[in-house]
């Protein structure tokens, strides 16, 4: 149901003939319909078993549509009254409406619907959450879409406040807390997601963004939020457009609801289809299909990369251009213009792979008009084959190919420039520090390292989607702890960053400390500005290649179009609920043994977690 | 090291000859000594590897004692300075002291000490906690005793407040939060426990009680807290005595510390030995060895009890006496004195077991001077053998033994009195309601049920000990969820009840409702009065046998000396930290199918947990 093209349904308050409704909606360009499971006139009394005695069926027959239509085109809505009254404190009222819901849920399963929808209208939803959770836990085919409005109606929140004096008023009017309460109780399943109803007034930025960390399956657009343009067509305000585009990136489906306010219902679908056409951005294009997909970080030092991996990353349109600029600057710095023909600059590319930096170094020498001599050092014998063939065919004696681990190479001379591309999503996590510490013995005292420094960044993020992905991989594999003590490389989309990222560990090269120690320990404090839930820590890096030439994957300084790195995610074993004003304190260690490097982490405020990955028990990076 | 007699050690600030110290302490009645692992004069420099160059050993040789003495008689204390300075923000300082601690930890393992001790002097203990956690996680033989004082010294807290302005002052001066912080980070192991240093001034009751929910291994009694009685002997104040007795019940060991203030060091040990002699209480005697031991609740309806189980419970000195009183009252109520010789009262004992209630009914009839006729109904054929032999030998035709499930029995006449003992630790959890609903068909319209009603009670409790017991059983068995979704019957000792228990579900008999439904749902709200951690929900019951004759296992109304029931504990999958002033909201359901009854539960404030035991997936009670 997701993909490039927008998937759009239409909601019917009630239908007389469901097959006609389907025909009409299909002709208008819609992909599916949302209808009540049971007509409100079928009043049911389950008290004292009387329901059995009432004559006639309680809803329409399954024969009205083919199974394949039920299975793919119809979202069934549970009775609103029963959803509310199954929270009643009166035993008979509650029991009656529980039974009504159970009957509807059973019927939805009988029809084989792809999804059912249930509405939350207050934070009083514990019993409803339990009923649905238990149904899903027992095994059902349908998804559960939990309809929540972006904003609580004013009169409703006033009423709720008098109903539930035990809760503070923010709690009552913040609809996200309703959903969070429901989802926290019923959170074991991917099957339960949000159907977010967009309101005419949009809440403030943080409130909107927080929804982007939730598993939104569907966005409901009431016709009342559409404006009318000069030609009489429905359009959305700029803010609404931008929200709808964000949601579309999360593969959300849309539903048009409410009375038609324009000449034809098809106009709403056509408008959405119009504004939701793909954008042109190298990173977005590259990353399509990788959204929120968990990958294990590469271990290029311990493992040899495959040809395809090299091929993908060599295509980055930004990274190598910046390396070239940095090398031009460094070559000019090394030898002043007046001496440029007299001296030769020794450039060593360590971890040369299949040669992209060799090519950029040759290009940089041309631009800078400097004479250079290149050593291309590579430990992967498969990549060395590619290097040697280029040397034979193109580079000639400008380039010397060395098949060796840079930490062990006995270089015949010392370098003016040491160029490497050993950075991972977290900067140092592919062991660039250890490699370059080994390689710098053949750098001249006044030699230059490119990159000259890099810094990892960390921020707390909310993403129940990613948390559940990790948990479910855990349940499959039965490695109880390992999945929550392992970082993941992931193109983070369905998430909310709860505070701006902060710098964590910095490494500079060459490292002239008397004792080189790449272990680190730092604690960071983040101020939380909105009630939310921390599911993990997002990691990024910035690097200075040379002087002011930088690369970054940190959201606010991201090098536009660069796709070589997705962020890294350090999970937490348990979600941490936080309130506005809380301080989130994170402790992070970079540890090492003779064989490995690893990270350990924990949270100490507002609650305390155990150490994650102690002794590197779940995840290490091999030296 | 634990048991009936108090185990008591003595702390040496430093020792010249450890073998002499051991001899002396042994002669004075002590079981072990606490000594520094390393003498402070052995200054170590680990910076830049210089430690290797310093001549000589860094501490005393292992040859000074035999291995068996090291293994059983010596608790080693880590260097205080290093414990504090491994939190330094200066890399070289921190690194040096981390290395010093690692050296001491390695040496403690080399000696094979039974325990090491580490002191907390502030909440700044994250790196120390991590070091010790990781050591223990990697596998060590010793226990780690974390020394924490009951009260922070005033000057210390003033200093800390200026050191760590990010924390509020309560946090700084409440030493429990130091320990909780340490333990939350390093909580994976039973190996880490508290060494609680008792202060001259004792904190308020809630603060004291909260420690009783922690895994206290050792209590340190400075000589300065002892008073001197008229004869010149050391004694403790009444409050201190009572605290020491509470700790002794938790199998805590004691250490006397500080300069000797009385004529001989042996006097302290003798005094403790004197005040810690066992008490005489039927419940305490019965429960010895069962403290905090997790048991699965009985399922007497589905399983047949064993003879030994009957035997144990028949010995209860209180329960059957109260049943007798209730029956006397009910017999008198049934027939007025003036008609006592004319009418016969039909008493049915349903679930008669091996006959204790039959015997009490016969005794009650004698006391009340009423004529009775007894039916003893029992479904367990093994117990019926016992009943029949007593009928043959003692009871004659006063008693008719019926081998049948009470729910299926076709009684030849109706009963005046229906007497049962079907209650579990949570009242209805052995399905008394369902059994009696089935049996009441042969109760006369004006018949009396004994018990006439019962109510379950619930309260949130803190007990990291029990939480860890459950978790470790989980890790052994790999049933990831089941152990946290199952209630346990347990003699709760190492716990703190965080709020008074509240009534949950009530059942009354006979049940004259038009539709009988034993499902229940209720939410309870508890006000938290001290920063603490909720690990589970303690369950109790009260029952009214007849009129004002009651039995109770609720702490504040517990029937003194009655040992038939220990409390029940409903675990939570994750500990919930709570702050003073928080509302703890608990939802509890009693659910049923045709075959089973089960409970489901969740917490919704201050944080939200998932539903525990949905659909009875981990635990049901068979009908």
Please report which confidence band the pLDDT of residue B1 belongs to, taking 50, 70 and 90 as the band edges: very low
Contact A206, A499 (CB under 8 A): no
Give B447→chain A minimum CA distance, Å.
26
pLDDT tier for residue B47 given thresholds of 50, 70 and 90: very low
Residue of B nearest to A526 (CA): B166
Would you state the torsion angle of the CA atoms of residues B86, B90, B93, B98, taken in this order, to the nearest 10 degrees? Answer: 30
d(CA A511, CA A567): 26
Taking only residues 289 to 328 of chain A, the set having a beta carbon closer than 8 angstroms to any beta carbon of chain B reads none
Numbered ranges of CATH 3.20.20.150 in chain A: 8-278
Whether the pLDDT of residue A156 is over 80: the answer is no
Q: How far is A166 from chain B (nearest CA, A)?
A: 9
Q: Any CB–CB contact under 8 A between A285 and chain B? A: no
Is residue B478's pLDDT more than 80? Answer: no
DSSP, collapsed to helix, strand or coil, labels residue B328 as: helix
The CATH T-level fold of domain B453-622 is 2.70.160
- Tell me the shortest Cα–Cα distance from A291 to chain B, in angstroms: 27
Name the least confident of A276-285, A522-531, B171-180, B580-589: A276-285
**Is residue A446 scored above 80 in pLDDT?**
yes
- Supply the residues of A annotated as catalytic: 421, 430
Has residue B41 got a pLDDT over 70? no
A557-566, B58-67, B196-205: the lowest-pLDDT one:
B58-67
pLDDT tens for residues A309-358? 888 889 888 999 999 999 999 999 999 999 888 889 999 999 999 999 99
Contacts of B186 in chain A (CB under 8 A): 610-611
φ and ψ of B306, to 5 deg: -90, 160
Q: Reply yes or no on whether the pLDDT at B3 is more than 60.
A: no
Residue B567 CA to residue B294 CA, distance in Å, equals 11
Tell whether B137 lies on the interface with A, counting CB pairs under 8 A: yes
Please give the CATH topology (third level) of the domain spanning B307-421: Rossmann fold (3.40.50)
- The minimum CA-CA distance between B247 and chain A, rounded to whole Å, is 27
Query: Are the Cβ atoms of B187 and A600 closer than 8 angstroms?
Result: no
Q: Which residue has the higher pLDDT, A138 or B346?
A: B346
pLDDT reading at B40 higher than 90: no
Residue A116: pLDDT over 50: yes
- B548-596: pLDDT as tens digits: 999 999 999 999 989 999 999 999 998 999 999 999 999 999 999 999 9
What is residue A456's predicted lDDT score, i.e. its pLDDT? Answer: 98
Annotated binding site of A for S-adenosyl-L-methionine: 310, 319-320, 378, 405-406
Instruction: Centre a 10 Å sphere on the Cβ of residue B299 and count the other Cβ atoms it contains.
Output: 16
Is a pLDDT exceeding 80 seen at residue A502? yes
* A540 neighbors A425 (Cβ within 8 angstroms): yes
State the Cα angle at B9 between B3 and B12, rounded to 5°: 170
Q: What is the pLDDT of residue A16?
A: 83
Does residue B48 have a pLDDT over 50?
Answer: no
Give the pLDDT confidence score for residue A48 in this predicted structure: 45
CB spacing of B166 vs A583 below 8 angstroms: yes
Query: Worst-scoring range by mean pLDDT, A614-618, B22-26, B43-47, B119-123?
Result: B43-47
Helices within A88-174 (DSSP H only): 91-111, 126-138, 154-163, 169-173
Nearest to B576 by CA among B457, B459, B462, B466: B462
Task: Give the pairing type, strands A234-235 and A227-228.
Answer: antiparallel
Cα-to-chain-centroid distance, residue A317: 23
Interface test with A, best of B94, B467, B608, B618 (most A CBs within 10 A): B608
Selected residues 430-469 of chain A with any CB under 8 Å from a CB in chain B: none
Contact A478 B478 (CB under 8 A): yes
Contact A523 B126 (CB under 8 A): yes
Higher pLDDT, A389 or B169: A389
Can you say which residues of B are annotated as belonging to the binding site for S-adenosyl-L-methionine? 310, 319-320, 378, 405-406
Q: Which residue has the higher pLDDT, B165 or A24?
A: A24
Contacts of residue A182, defined as CB under 8 A and 6 or more positions apart, other chains included, come to: A120, A125, A128, A129, A146
Nearest chain B Cα distance for residue A583, angstroms: 9
Whole-complex ipTM: 0.75
Question: CB count, 10 Å around CB of B224?
Answer: 11
The rounded mean pLDDT for chain A is 89
Residues on chain B touching A528 (C-beta within 8 angstroms): none
- Flag whether pLDDT at A3 surpasses 50: no
Mean pLDDT on B379-406: 91
Query: Closest partner residue to B134 among A126, A166, A615, by Cβ?
Result: A615
* pLDDT tier at B142, thresholds 50, 70, 90: very high
Residue A462: predicted pLDDT: 95
pLDDT of B611 strictly over 50: yes
- Closest partner residue to B137 (CB to CB) among A574, A609, A615 is A615
Query: Is the Cβ–Cβ distance between B130 and A600 less than 8 Å?
Result: yes
Q: What pLDDT score was predicted for residue A4?
A: 65
Q: Would you state the pLDDT for residue A45?
A: 53
The boundaries of every CATH 2.70.160.11 domain in chain B are 453-622
What are the residues facing B527 on neighbouring strands? Answer: B583
Q: Is the peptide bond before B606 cis (omega within 30 degrees of 0)?
A: yes
Q: Which comes out higher in pLDDT, residue B122 or A552?
A: A552
Q: Is the predicted pLDDT of residue B160 greater than 60, yes or no? A: no
Of residues A112 and A498, which shows the higher confidence score? A498
Helices H / strands E in chain B, number of each: 18, 26
Q: Do B180 and A615 touch (CB under 8 A)?
A: no
Give the model confidence (pLDDT) of A533-566 as tens digits.
999 999 999 999 999 999 999 999 999 989 999 9
CB spacing of B133 vs A49 below 8 angstroms:
no
CB < 8 Å to A181, chain B: 604, 608
> Is B281's pLDDT higher than 90?
no
The whole-number pLDDT of residue A157 equals 54
Chain A hits for B95, CB-CB cut-off 8 Å, are 517, 519
Q: Whole-number mean pLDDT of chain B?
A: 89
Any A CB within 8 A of B180 CB: yes
Domain limits, CATH 3.40.50.150, in chain B: 307-421
Contact criterion met (CB below 8 Å) for A553 and A562: yes
Interface membership of A480 toward B (CB under 8 Å): yes
B133:A166 CB<8 A: no
Tell me the shortest Cα–Cα distance from A103 to chain B, in angstroms.
Answer: 16
The pLDDT score that the predictor gives to residue A57 is 63
Residue B542: active-site member = no
**B405-418 tens-digit pLDDT:** 999 999 999 999 99
Locate all alpha helices (DSSP H) within B186-265, ordered by sequence: 205-211, 238-249
**Structure-token match 């299975």, residue found:** A71
- Per-residue 3-state assignment (H helix, E strand, C coil) for A423-478: CECCEHHHCHHHHHHHHHHHEEEEEEEECCEEEEEEEEEECHHHHHHHHHHHHHHC
Q: Which CATH superfamily is domain A8-278 in?
A: Divalent-metal-dependent TIM barrel enzymes (3.20.20.150)
**Can you tell me the mean pLDDT for B236-254?**
93
The reply to whether residue B186 touches residue A134, judged by beta carbons under 8 angstroms, is no
Token duo for residue B546 = 């007849």
Q: How far apart are CA B388 and CA B400, in angstroms?
A: 9
Measured torsion, CA atoms of residues B301, B303, B309, B311, in degrees rounded to the nearest 10: 70
Q: Does A600 touch chain B (CB under 8 A)?
A: yes
- Quickly state the pLDDT bin for A247 (edges 50, 70, 90): very high
Would the pLDDT of A504 be above 60? yes
Q: What is the pLDDT of residue B550?
A: 97
Q: What average pLDDT does the segment A186-192 reach?
A: 78
List the 391-430 stretch of A: residues with Cβ below 8 A of B.
none
Residue A114 has which token pair? 């792809």
């Amino acid at each position: 149901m997701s993909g490039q093209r927008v998937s759009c349904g239409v909601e019917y308050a009630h239908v007389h003939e469901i097959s006609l409704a389907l025909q009409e909606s299909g002709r208008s360009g819609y992909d599916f319909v949302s209808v009540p499971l049971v007509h409100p006139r079928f009043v049911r009394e389950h008290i004292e078993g009387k329901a059995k005695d009432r004559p006639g069926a309680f809803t329409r027959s399954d024969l009205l549509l083919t199974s394949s239509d039920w299975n793919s085109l119809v979202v069934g809505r549970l009775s609103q009254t029963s959803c509310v009254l199954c929270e009643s404190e009166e035993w008979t009222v509650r029991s009656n409406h529980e039974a009504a819901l159970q009957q509807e849920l059973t019927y939805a399963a009988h029809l084989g619907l792809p999804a059912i929808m249930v509405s939350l209208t207050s934070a009083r939803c514990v019993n409803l959450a339990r009923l649905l959770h238990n149904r899903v836990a027992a095994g059902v085919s349908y998804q559960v879409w939990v309809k929540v409005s972006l904003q609580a109606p004013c009169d409703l929140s006033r009423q709720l406040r008098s109903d539930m004096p035990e809760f503070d008023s923010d709690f009552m009017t913040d609809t996200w807390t309703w959903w969070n309460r429901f989802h926290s109780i019923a959170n074991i399943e991917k099957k339960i997601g949000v159907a977010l109803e967009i309101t005419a007034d949009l809440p403030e930025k943080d409130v909107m963004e927080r929804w982007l960390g939730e598993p939104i399956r569907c966005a409901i657009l009431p016709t009342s939020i559409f404006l009318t343009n000069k030609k009489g067509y429905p359009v959305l305000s700029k803010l609404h457009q931008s929200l709808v585009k964000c949601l579309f990136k999360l593969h959300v489906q849309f539903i048009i609801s409410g009375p038609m306010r324009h000449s034809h219902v098809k106009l709403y679908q056509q408008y959405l289809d119009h504004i939701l056409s793909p954008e042109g951005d190298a990173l977005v294009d590259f990353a399509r299909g990788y959204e929120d997909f968990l990958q294990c970080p590469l271990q290029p030092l311990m493992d040899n990369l495959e040809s395809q991996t090299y091929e993908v990353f060599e295509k980055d349109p930004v990274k190598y251009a910046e390396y070239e600029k940095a090398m031009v600057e460094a070559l000019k710095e090394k030898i002043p213009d007046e001496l440029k023909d007299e001296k030769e600059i020794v450039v060593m590319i360590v971890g040369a792979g299949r040669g992209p930096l060799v090519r950029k170094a040759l290009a940089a020498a041309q631009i800078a008009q400097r004479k250079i001599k290149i050593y291309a050092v590579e430990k992967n014998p498969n990549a060395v084959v590619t290097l040697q063939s280029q040397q034979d065919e193109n580079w000639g004696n400008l380039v010397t190919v060395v098949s060796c681990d840079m930490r062990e190479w006995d270089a015949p001379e010392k370098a003016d420039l040491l160029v490497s591309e050993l950075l991972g999503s977290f900067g140092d996590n592919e062991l660039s520090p250890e490699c370059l510490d080994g390689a710098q013995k053949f750098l001249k005292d006044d030699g230059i390292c490119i990159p000259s420094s890099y810094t990892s960044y960390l921020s707390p993020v909310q993403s129940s989607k990613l948390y559940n992905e990790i948990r479910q991989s855990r349940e499959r594999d039965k490695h109880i702890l390992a999945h929550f003590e392992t970082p993941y490389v992931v193109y983070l989309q369905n998430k909310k960053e709860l505070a701006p990222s902060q710098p964590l560990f910095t490494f500079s090269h060459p490292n002239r400390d008397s004792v080189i120690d790449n272990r680190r320990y730092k604690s960071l404090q983040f101020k939380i500005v909105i009630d939310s839930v921390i599911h993990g820590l997002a990691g990024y890096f910035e690097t200075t290649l040379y002087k002011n030439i930088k690369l970054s994957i940190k959201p606010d300084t991201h090098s536009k179009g660069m796709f070589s790195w997705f962020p890294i995610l350090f999970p937490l074993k348990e979600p941490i609920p936080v309130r506005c004003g809380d301080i989130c304190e994170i402790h992070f260690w970079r540890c090492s043994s003779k064989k490995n490097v690893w990270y350990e982490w924990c949270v100490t405020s507002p609650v305390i977690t155990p150490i994650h990955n102690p002794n590197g028990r779940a995840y290490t990076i091999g030296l």
